[in-house]
Every structure is written in C-alpha cells, then in structure tokens.
C-alpha cells in the first residue's frame, strides 16, 4: 500500500482542503495521511473563519509521520502564513521527500485569502525549490509572476518564469481563461498541452485540491509525471461531471473510481 500525505487546511464542509485530498487518496487506493495547517469554517457559500495551527504543532505532526511511516508522495495545499511555510520548509529539508506536489493555494473561489498576501514571497522562496511539480491556476500564476495572463502564449511565458524561480516542473491550469481550457506542463525544456471539454456546472468547489491530490496519488503509484497528469485530469473530469448539488452555493466534486 502506498502512503501519501497532504499538508493543508481543513474544510469542514468536506469539499476542499484536507477532506478533498483524503477522499481523492482513498479513491486511488493509496493510504492517506494529513498534517493540518489551519482549520477553516466554510461551506458551499463561503469561508467564515480561519484559525492557523501553531508552528510547533505543525512541526510535531510532520515529525510524527516521517519518524514512523514512509511517505511515498506528499502534497502541499493551504499554507496560510509565513511561519507555517517556514516550518514546513525546514522539516521537508530535513526529511527530503522526493515526490512533492505544491498547490500554491492563494484565494478561494468565494474570494477569501487562504494565503496571507505577505506570505506569497516566502512560498516562492521556501517551497517552490522543494517541489517536484507546482500546480498554479491562472490567478495564482499571475500573482507569482506579476503578469497578466489572457492567452496561451502568456501562459507559456508565465510557466517559464515560474520555472526560473526554482520549480522543477510547472503545471499551469488554463480553466480560468474564457476560450482556452488548455493546461500546460513545462519541464524546463518543452511544453506539453492537455485539453479537456469544459463541463457546464457551478459545482467546482475543491477542484484544485482534488487535481493536485490526484497527481500526488498517481506519482506515488509509480506513474511518470506525464502519466500522472493525464490520469489526474481524467479523475477530476469525472469528479466534476458527477459533482454534487449540495448546499446553497458552489457544490463539491464527487470522488469515486
Ligand atoms: N479551503 C481550503 C482549506 C483549501 O485548501 C482550498 C484549496 O484551494 C479551498 C478552500 C478552495 O476552495 P475553492 O475550490 O472553493 O476555491
């Protein structure tokens, strides 16, 4: 059994964050573990409160896992604050896991800052170099590169810029562009392009978390980066197709294989 860890925030409504990650891991037949960085109070309508977990308790959670259990894949999601990022980076430098997927979570679809804007530079400086692959969406790539992205060419330029900041591979998701829904993967040498049909639904809560977790699970299972991305995209497409109209707002994706 492959063992996979998510370091991320809790979404009590079960659609995003740690909860989406663990559901995705289970659906892939891997054993899921979690280090919680923040507890959020949220539902399909918005985020109402966030309490960050202390630096010390985050450190102890990471130690508890790595000192006891082999980690075949690791995903980093919501990291909230400068001190959270610093302690994660310090611990990962110590344990040096190979397969690290960084989802640079910044703002929720409902507009809540899940990453303190003051921590953006620390995320780039401390976590980007530790990741095998980083998975920004367009708004996140715009913040990271200070560029405005409206075309596939601009996506390519932004992916190159993120690569130059220290990422080994950049998977830039095109879903926020009006016409293009193409995602691109840049490995420092060439681009790969991944298109999928746009699914007409409002229920997309937690899609970013789910995609990065699915990539992590597939890498842990031994797939190549390209295969892991293709398989994760298939997984998220089916999860969105079967998304759930629960709650009064943006419903979650549905996890099964
Ligand atoms: N809440 C948490 C804890 C998350 O980690 C994420 C991840 O991006 C979100 C919410 C985002 O939710 P949404 O897909 O609605 O933007």
Strand partners, 205: 252
Q: Where are the domains of the chain?
A: 3-241
Pocket test for ligand 1, best of 42, 47, 115, 208 (most atoms within 8 A of CB): 208
Summarised one tens digit per residue, pLDDT across range 189-246 is 999 999 888 888 888 899 999 999 999 999 999 999 999 999 999 999 999 888 889 9
Q: Helix (H, G, I), strand (E, B), or coil: what is residue 119? A: helix
User: What is the CATH number assigned to the segment(s) 3-241?
Assistant: 3.40.1190.20
Ligand 1 centroid – CA 40 distance (Å): 10
In angstroms, the Cα distances linking 36 to 43, 53, 57, 158, 225 are 18, 7, 9, 30, 26
ipTM for the assembly: 0.92
Per the CB < 8 A criterion, the answer to whether 42 and 13 are in contact is yes
Strand partners, 73: 4
Q: What is the per-residue pLDDT for 139?
A: 94
Q: Is the CB of 252 under 6 A from ligand 1?
A: no
Q: What is the per-residue pLDDT for 197?
A: 80
Tokens 């994760």 correspond to 232
Q: Is the CB of 43 under 6 A from ligand 1?
A: no
DSSP labels, 158-179: HHHHHHHTT-S-EEEB-TTSSS
Q: Whose CA is nearest to atom 2 of ligand 1?
A: 17
Per the CB < 8 A criterion, the answer to whether 216 and 74 are in contact is yes
Pocket test for ligand 1, best of 209, 213, 236 (most atoms within 8 A of CB): 209
Residue 47, classified by CB atoms within 10 Å of its CB into exposed (0-12), middle (13-18) or buried (19+), is buried
Q: What is the per-residue pLDDT for 180?
A: 59
Ligand 1 centroid – CA 45 distance (Å): 12
Per the CB < 8 A criterion, the answer to whether 158 and 125 are in contact is no
pLDDT < 70 positions in the chain? 179-180, 257
Per the CB < 8 A criterion, the answer to whether 233 and 223 are in contact is no
């Amino acid at each position: 059994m492959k063992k996979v860890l998510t370091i991320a925030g809790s979404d009590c409504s079960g659609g995003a964050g740690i909860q989406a990650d663990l559901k995705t891991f289970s659906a892939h037949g891997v054993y899921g573990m979690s280090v919680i960085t923040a507890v959020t109070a949220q539902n399909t309508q918005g985020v109402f409160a966030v309490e960050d977990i202390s630096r010390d308790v985050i450190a102890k959670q990471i130690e508890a896992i790595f000192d006891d259990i082999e980690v075949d894949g690791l995903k980093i999601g919501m990291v909230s604050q400068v001190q959270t990022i610093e302690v994660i980076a310090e611990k990962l430098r110590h344990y040096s896991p190979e397969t690290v997927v960084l989802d640079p979570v910044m703002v929720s679809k409902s507009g809540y800052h899940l990453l303190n804007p003051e921590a953006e530079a620390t995320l780039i400086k401390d976590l980007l170099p530790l990741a095998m692959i980083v998975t920004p969406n367009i708004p996140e790539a715009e913040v990271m590169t200070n560029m405005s992205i409206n075309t596939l060419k601009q996506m390519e330029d932004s992916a190159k810029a993120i690569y130059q900041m220290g990422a080994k591979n950049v998977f830039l998701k095109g879903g926020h562009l009006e016409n293009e829904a193409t995602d691109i993967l840049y490995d420092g040498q060439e681009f790969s392009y991944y298109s999928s049909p746009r699914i007409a639904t409002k229920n997309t809560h937690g899609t970013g978390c789910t995609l990065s977790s699915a990539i992590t699970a597939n890498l842990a299972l031994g797939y190549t980066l390209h295969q892991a991305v293709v398989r994760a995209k298939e997984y998220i497409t089916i999860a969105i197709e079967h998304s759930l109209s629960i709650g009064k707002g943006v419903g979650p994706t549905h996890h099964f294989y």
